[in-house]
Amino acid sequence: MLNSSFVQTVVPLTMTIALLTFSSPSLAQESLDAIMDVFDSSPVPAEQFTTEIPEVRPYRISGFIDLDIAWALWSHTSSSSDYDYQGLAVLRPLLSLDLSYTLPNGWQAKMGGHGFYDFSYAVQGRNQFTDQVLKKYENELNLDEVYLEGALGKTTFKLGRQIVVWGESDIFRPLDITNPVDIRDPVFSDISGLRLPVWMSRADWQDKGGWSFSALAIHENRADEIPVYGNDFYPFDFPLPPREESGLRLEDTGVGITAKHSFQNWDASLYLASITQEQDLVGITADVTVRPLNRIQILGTSANLAAGNWLYKADLMFSNGHQYYQLPDERKDRIDFTGGFDYSGFENSYLTFEVAYRHLLDMNPEFDDTLDYPKRNVVAFGLRYHRSFFREKLATSALIQLYGFNQGGLQQLSCSFSPWDNSRITAGIMAFQDGDNYIFEQIGKNDRLFLKYHYAF
């Protein structure tokens, strides 16, 4: 194949000589002499063509700054405190930083962390709050994702503190069991910051036929961050006992395997896992000295199907080994199912609907009306709607979650505005509905107005 620069030089030159030759001999000779003078002229110094290449740094620093403000609308107390929570509830600046570093052979390293200080406790008077509240809510400095990732042959490895997402559903997520969650403050607990990273070892492999496989070992048994004694979302009138200790022991290590296949317009996944989890808090009493951990075995599957503006999705999980405080000598099996859809046929909008069903096998139906016993059947409904305007500068969203027909729920309405790149201001209200559930029993007056400023860099 001819070199392109050779063609671009020789072809026009040949055509020019030919045209001049067929015109007049004298003109052709003069023009040919002029053309040859070009080749005889001194070359342009090479430094005039040199373009400075910017230095590519192997590292990148990114992060975000948040300012969270919340106001409790109604006068109310809680089962764990006589303090009136009406008024300023959150005044919290937060800084999150991530450092990414590119290593040789395509490997990547990442380290992240965050810190915050909530000034609302100083404003309200710190002596009015319990030590547990001040420890968990007033300030925090924590390590987030820290991992090393790269490929050896056809296998990709990821080692360190990380987040792994299982399942297809977005609202109820029954299969999303690899990471604990932070639900200390339901008002600011959206899914993007809900999951807490844990120390894991992970290996992924993908073939050319659409199959992908993943295996992981969960070394850290990190606890969920839940409301504590003295907070108005805390459901008990006594402090929780300490959690059973769990270190980096082999007997506490969780394991999981996934297999996924992608078809033309749908995906299907299979999950197998054996993990250690804290026992459900329903029915706990003040005389419990330690909150025990249980080994749970899981078999699950999930699928999604794309059809035009519709995305249908479903998660199904069977798990065994569940224990409860009221049934200390029994181990229960459980079935969880979530099905729903995403719809994007509206202009600049999307709609998500999910229904979740949980069934405890071999559970005595006589306990169904007892608050301190786990329910044999639980049904929940979730609806989320989001619409953007003015090229996504303005957006509105609504979220509704209902647990059964009398178990409680929540509703959230918000509006966000992006005045500049990488910044967003969100304002809204979250309302809670009490019900026959130990979590929602006494939070009907915990409604909040909230304001959030987010800047990413």
User: Domain 58-456 maps to which CATH number in 1.10.287.610, 2.60.120.10, 3.40.50.170, 2.40.160.100?
Assistant: 2.40.160.100
Read off the pLDDT of residues 123-176 as tens digits, 9 standing for 90 and up: 999 999 999 999 999 999 999 999 999 999 999 999 999 999 999 999 999 999
Closest CA to 317 of 179, 160, 167: 167
- The better pLDDT of the pair 398, 365 is held by 398
- The total of other beta-carbon atoms located within 10 Å of residue 196's CB is 19
Contact 424, 454 (CB under 8 A): yes
Please tell me the predicted confidence (pLDDT) of residue 20.
36
Beta-bridge partner residues of 307: 310
Q: 295: exposed, middle or buried (C-beta count within 10 Å: 0-12, 13-18, 19+)? A: middle
Tokens 């052709």 sit at which residue?
28
Does residue 457 contact residue 63 with C-beta atoms inside 8 Å? yes
Tokens 């671009």 found at: 8
Coil, helix or strand at residue 302: strand
Q: What is the pLDDT of residue 8?
A: 44
- Predicted confidence at residue 409, as pLDDT, reads 95
Q: What is the pLDDT at residue 332?
A: 94
pLDDT of 36 strictly over 70: no
Classify each residue of 360-385 as buried b or exposed e, where b means 16 or more C-beta atoms within 10 Å of its C-beta. Answer: beebeeebeeeeebbbbebebbbbbb
Residue 252's closest CA among 211, 299, 293?
293
Task: Label residue 125 left, alpha or beta by phi (over 0 means left) and psi (-120 to 50 means alpha).
Answer: left
Residue 68 has which token pair?
Answer: 């969270």
For 113, residues 6+ apart whose C-beta sits below 8 A from its C-beta are: 96, 97, 141, 142, 143, 144
Distance of CA 312 to the CA centre of its chain: 20
Cα distance between residue 280 and residue 284, in whole Å: 9
Please tell me the distance from the alpha carbon of residue 142 to that of residue 279, in angstroms, as a whole number.
Answer: 25
Please work out, in degrees rounded to the nearest 5, the angle formed at the alpha carbon of residue 257 by the alpha carbons of 295 and 375.
40
The answer, yes or no, to whether residue 50 has pLDDT greater than 80, is no
Q: Taking residues 77-83, report their average pLDDT.
A: 93
Which candidate, 144, 93, 81, places its Cα nearest to that of 117? Answer: 93
Give the SS3 label for residue 187: helix
The model carries a pTM of 0.82
| pLDDT at position 67 | 97
Contact 300, 316 (CB under 8 A): yes
Contact between residue 413 and residue 419 where contact means Cβ atoms under 8 Å apart: no
Residues 182, 114: Cα–Cα separation, whole Å: 14
User: What is the tens place of the pLDDT at every residue in 186-220?
Assistant: 898 775 568 999 999 999 999 888 899 999 999 99
Question: Would you say residue 373 has pLDDT above 80?
Answer: yes
Query: For residues 89 and 221, what is the distance between their CA atoms, to the nearest angstrom?
Result: 31
- Angstrom distance (rounded) from CA 351 to CA 340: 11
Name the nearest CA neighbour of 381 among 350, 358, 402: 402
First CA to last CA across the chain, in angstroms?
A: 48
* DSSP secondary structure of 129-181: S-HHHIIIIIEEEEEEEEEEEEEETTEEEEEEEE----SS-SSS-TT--SS-B
Tell me if 269 sits within 8 A of 302, measured CB to CB. Answer: yes
Span 340-361, pLDDT tens digits: 999 999 999 999 999 999 999 9
The residue type of 206 is Q
> What is the average pLDDT score of the chain?
88
